[in-house]
Amino acid sequence: MSDAARDVIQRYYAAFNAHDDQGMLRLLTEDVVHDLNQGGRETGRDAFRAFLQRMARCYREQLTDLVIMNTADGARGACEYVVHGTYLQADAGLPPAHGQRYVLPGGAFFTLRGGMIARVTNYYDLPAWLAQVRC
């Protein structure tokens, strides 16, 4: 089971790096819970789809140096990575965007159910990101 969990998380990030929203969405349960970094909680694949659309409009990101971990039973996992991004368009409540580049560590925690991702909790250091994009 743990190899299956690792495989799902790897496929999720391969789809992320390929900007394949449909590929990411196929790996999520219909009732997926998404905990936004230092923000609220959204529930459902439709809410996650809207999140991905906002991300594509405002950011262009690639993740490198992925380290995937999971429990022996495959029910939970985590991934640490480095985000390499470009801030394309101002996101609500954030500074103006004009192509600023940023690099920072991040991570995510997962709950897996039935071979799919049922929860994603994302984390990155928002003050460190702000320091890189404020000009």
Spell out the per-residue pLDDT of the chain, length 135, in tens: 578 899 999 999 999 999 999 999 999 999 999 999 888 899 999 999 999 999 999 999 999 999 999 999 999 999 999 999 999 999 999 999 999 999 999 999 999 999 999 999 999 999 999 999 997
Question: What pLDDT is recorded for position 14?
Answer: 98
Give the total number of structural domains in the chain: 1
Question: What pLDDT is recorded for position 103?
Answer: 98
Alpha carbons 124 and 133: distance in angstroms, whole number: 14
Q: What is the CATH number of the domain that holds 69?
A: 3.10.450.50
Q: Residue 67's domain spans which residues?
A: 2-133
Q: What is the pTM of this model?
A: 0.94
Q: Which residues contact 112 (CB under 8 A, 6 or more apart)?
A: 5, 8, 70, 74, 75, 76, 77, 118
Question: What pLDDT is recorded for position 3?
Answer: 87
Alpha carbons 103 and 128: distance in angstroms, whole number: 9
Question: What pLDDT is recorded for position 1?
Answer: 52
Task: Show the tokens assigned to 87.
Answer: 């801030």
Alpha carbons 29 and 35: distance in angstroms, whole number: 15
